[in-house]
Amino acid sequence: MTLETVTRGALLGVGAAGLARGCYLVLFELPPKAWIPMLIWLAAGVVVHDALLAPLSLLLGRILVRTIGRPVAIRVTGNALRGAWLGFGTVLLVGIPLLVGAGRRHNWTVIPGRPVLNLFLSLALVIIGTALVILRNLFTVTADPKPVAESAG
């Protein structure tokens, strides 16, 4: 029996125990009236990602590739724009609860700043970072990449 087999067996066993513990807590520590809303929220994240965010990202990527056109331009802007898209998504996912929370805050020490301004400043930082990376790539990225190594995978 190899070390890898033992490791996989151990991970599988501990993982299955973790899943069982989670199911036990849901079934026996949460009131039954919590099950349906929890199930809805569990499924919603997957559906929103798989049916909306990922297809939207791929569609945007395809549109960008067709718009930018030339391979060298894609090499200059591609990852910067992917980073920007990821940055926008992340900032919005973190920032929107703060915006809503600020409107319903229980006391003035919760979200005490200016959440709308802060959200826009954060998005502006993403745009500035993207522009700087593209600017740098304009001077460093070559048009015709050559293979540099044999891949093991």
Query: What is the footprint of another protein within residues 30-49 (CB under 8 A)?
Result: 30, 33-34, 36-38, 41-46, 48-49
Q: Does 52 bind another protein (CB under 8 A)?
A: no
Q: Does 12 bind another protein (CB under 8 A)?
A: yes
> What does each C-alpha distance from 141 to 25, 50, 74, 126, 145 come to in angstroms?
53, 33, 10, 21, 9
Quick one: which of 68, 73, 118, 134 contacts another protein (CB under 8 A)? 118
Quick one: which of 64, 68, 72, 95 contacts another protein (CB under 8 A)? 95
75 contacts 137 by C-beta, under 8 angstroms: yes
Q: What's the closest the beta carbon of residue 26 comes to another protein, in angstroms?
A: 5
Burial class of residue 83 (count of CB atoms within 10 Å of its CB; 0-12, 13-18, 19+)? middle
Residue 19 or 63 with smaller CB distance to another protein: 19
Q: What's the closest the beta carbon of residue 42 comes to another protein, in angstroms?
A: 4
CA 71/CA 81 separation, integer angstroms: 15
